[in-house]
Every structure is written in C-alpha cells, then in structure tokens.
Structure 1
C-alpha cells in the first residue's frame, strides 16, 4: 500500500522536478497529506497530490500515522506538458499549453516587443476554469477589487488562446503606466494588431486570438491543434465536469477529409 505523508512546514512547495529550481505546481499547508510515489532521493520525495504529481522536500514531511492511501481520482491529466494545478491561486505561463496558431502569433508579437526594447513577458497563459472562477469571485463573493468580468469558460484563457503580458522591470512585475512605462502599454495594442492578435480596451495586459468565443474549440482550431493544447484543454474540461461544473467545451475529434 502506498505511504501517505503529512506536511510539517507552514507552507511547502510541490515542484515539477526534484530541485529547488523546479517549477512550483502548488503549495501544500501544514497538516495536508499526499501519497508517496517512490523513495526519496537527494532529499526530494516523489508524491501525488490530488491530480498533481511532483516532488516535496523530504525534510518537511512525515509519515501520516494510521492513514491509508486514497483511490486515485478518475480524472485524466494531460499526457504531456505541464500538469494542471489544483490550487486556483497558481498561474501558468507555459506556452506549450497554448494553441499552436496563437502561439506562433504570440512569438511574432514577443519578437516585435523585444526589437523595440519593450520589457513585456508572459505573466499568465492557459488558465484553469477553477482559477477563472476564483478570480471572478474577487470583488464579488470575496474581498478585493474586480479583476475580471468573465466566468469560467467565458475567457479565452481557458481555451489556450490568450495570455496576459506584463512589464518585467528590474526583476519585478509591474502594471504601472506612469512616466516612461506608459509608452510601452500604449504601443502594445498596435504591435499586437501587426502580429494578427487583438487586445482589450478594458484589460491592458490581455492579448488574444481574434476569433469568436463560440469558435474557440471549434472544428478549425481542433484541426490545427497539437497534443500540448488538446491534452490540456481536454483535461481541464474533464476535471471541471467531474466536479459538477458546466460550460466546458465538447471536444469532438476533428474529422479528416475523405480520400477520392
């Protein structure tokens, strides 16, 4: 029977690789439990937590007394690329989860920005519906200012067709539009348009593929998809439905044309 472990630290990062430099998938809190997936090596313990698989520092976990391992949840995970985080506060910036058509146009835009020494970087790319719901609740059912008007599956982020580009200056993210920084934000919509993308007047960092939301998982985009995008979208939709959510797209496989 797999061993169940309990977190002893106040907060402990679950990382994608056995290294302090590994990407953070989510954060476990003191008392939360996970299931071991092998023996610790070089101080890193492979574990599974909800739908995530990663590594924890073995110094900050202990065997949970008398706990049995749970049955794995019957929710598919992406077959490749970056796992979907369970924590809605975790943002993703991996471009492999974006649709290849959008990813190509985004690359053109980033090259244009770099050529003009405009320090934009991808702050957030694919966004899980759970995170979209969490963001939508801000300023409504929980404290804070409103940051989005889109509910889950009403945002292009859920379809891998949008990113948020934010200025990265002196090693820090900044949304400031004062002084010289304002010129960067004013230039972004023009360069996005040149790259075949569109921006939103009410949300400056947002850049998306100019298609209708009803076509975001339609036949044309499905036909030109790759595994990174398709697996991510299918996994997010399946997990959302398994939790009783609605609005996720029905990813019917694209049909190849018949031969003569």
Structure 2
C-alpha cells in the first residue's frame, strides 16, 4: 500500500493545485517523494482540477466542449483533422498567446500548458448555439448525410455539393432543409427530401433514355475508361451530366456522342 497523505500535504494541494498543476506541485518540498500520477489522482479525488486561466475575452476549448455536449478530444478532432475550422479561425494555443505577450512561463508550467486551446467568447457562444440546434435536429428525427444520400440515390459528396447549389442536381437539392454541426456533421430533414428525390429520378430517366453509356463511348473512342472524360474534353464534346446506376455502371448525357470516334 502507498503512503498515507498527511494533513499538511492535503492542505498544500487544496491551496496550490489549481494554480500550479501536478508537475509543479511534485517539485515542492511538502510533496517530496510523491509522483505526478499520485498527485493528479489525489487531486481528482479531492475534486481539484488544473485549469489554465485564459486571457480576457477567451474561453477554454474544454469548457466550450462540455457546454456544447461534445467531448474535448472529439471536438478538437472534428475541428482540426476534418478541417472544419469555420468556428476555430481565431483559436490559438496558450503557448502562442504567451509568446505574443512576450512572457515565457517557467519550464514546468510550459510543459503542462502547451496543449491548451482557447476560443474567442464570440465564437464559443456561436459554437454552443450551433451545436444545440444540431442536437435538437437529431432528436427530431433528422437524417445523417449518408442516410439522406442513400435515400436520394446519390453519393454523399454529390449531396453536399448540391446543398450549396453546385453539381448536376444543385437546383433540386439546395431547397432541402438541413443543419450543420460545428464539427461538420450534417442533419437533413427527411420530409424535404421527397420532392428532390422525385426530381432526381425524373432527370435520371431522361438521361438514361437519351444518354450513351460511358463504356460505349470509351470503346468507340479507343481509349481507357478512366480517360474518356479527358478525351471528350479534347474533342470538345461536352458531357452535360453523369448518372450512376448500381455501383460501377455510369451513363453520360453527351451532345454529339457520335463524334467520339471521328
């Protein structure tokens, strides 16, 4: 069994842990012989946590994530790895802020605070509000982007482009009601998908009736299937629309497809 904590050591933790953190406390003569892990564990049992005091006008990202209902590590992953940085444009590391202020903290503190992130208060409020709308939409039965794309018979990327008014079906998809989370997740209202689905199916049938399979165009042009679009572009044969049927079959509505073998 480990050594029992004395009243003096517990009192020292209560007075200094929030300000110094586990590494700096481990260097104190009062806690001599206590490891950083033991100090951190004891502090958690006492309800003490090491928080960095952010500069005026900023909020810790961990606090924002807790209020938004998203774990801190998941929040950082969504914001950085997936490059959904709309809300994190002004996010700065604490170490960077200290350098801008021309003040370098002691080495133990520097080692503890180098991974802290802060968010501007205005962005933090917008983040929490946006996350609240997204969570309410999910609770109301909104579909994910993958579920909505499957229902429409489209690829997920085509759905995302269409919601912005781009792509072959942008005029049909931009009217769909949807909500984005700060992390880039998408929630789509299921009732607004039906009209778009009918329009997409109608347009696909028209394309398949007048279009030519891409494999046929590649065979007539004497080129590989992967380079047919480049070959058509060189010969100035515009591809108006690509429609996918199944997993690997693709049809193209092409003006002047007969010129492909000219």
TM interval, short-chain normalised? under 0.3
TM-score normalised per structure 2: 0.23
Greater relative contact order (Cα < 8 A, sep 6+): 1
Larger radius of gyration: 2
Higher strand share: 1
Bigger fraction of residues in helix: 2
Normalised by the length of structure 1, the TM-score is 0.23
